Amino acid sequence: EDKVVQSPLSLVVHEGDTVTLNCSYEVTNFRSLLWYKQEKKAPTFLFMLTSSGIEKKSGRLSSILDKKELSSILNITATQTGDSAIYLCAVEAPQRGAGGTSYGKLTFGQGTILTVHP
């Protein structure tokens, strides 16, 4: 069974701090790893990683994948109160459904709750 584990489960920091969120996985037939930010209810897409060692960056957020270690980190520098959210890691693996349909299936970690205080 595919498994994704995130750590820490929760994190409390002050504005301006830098945080590192971890994601490790055990997946058969890995295709990609995705990071989402969830505020209130809807997760919003942050990054999709497919190759080891290539950093993806968007403003103060960056992420990198290590396929050898079966893990990924999400870094947030100079945190702001607006970064407070649940950060979800998901791993995509191709599946074959009924009728031979091929599709990607996501397995999510339990999330890291980040709280940034002013």
Partner 1 sequence: GAGVSQSPSNKVTEKGKDVELRCDPISGHTALYWYRQSLGQGLEFLIYFQGNSAPDKSGLPSDRFSAERTGGSVSTLTIQRTQQEDSAVYLCASSSQKTVWGAAFFGQGTRLTVV
Binding site for partner 1 (CB under 8 A): 4, 6, 31-32, 34, 40-45, 48, 88, 90, 92, 94-95, 97-99, 101-111
d(CA 44, CA 80): 18
CB 111 within 8 A of CB 8: no
- How far apart are CB 95 and partner 1 at their closest, in Å? 6
Q: 16: which DSSP letter?
A: T
| Cβ closest to partner 1, residue 50 vs residue 75 | 50
Considering the complex, state which of residue 18 and residue 110 has its C-beta at the smaller distance from partner 1: 110
Alpha-carbon span 93 to 50, nearest angstrom: 11
Closest CA to 77 of 27, 20, 37: 20
Residue 116 CB, nearest distance to partner 1 (Å)?
Answer: 19
- Minimum CB separation of residue 21 from partner 1 in Å reads 14
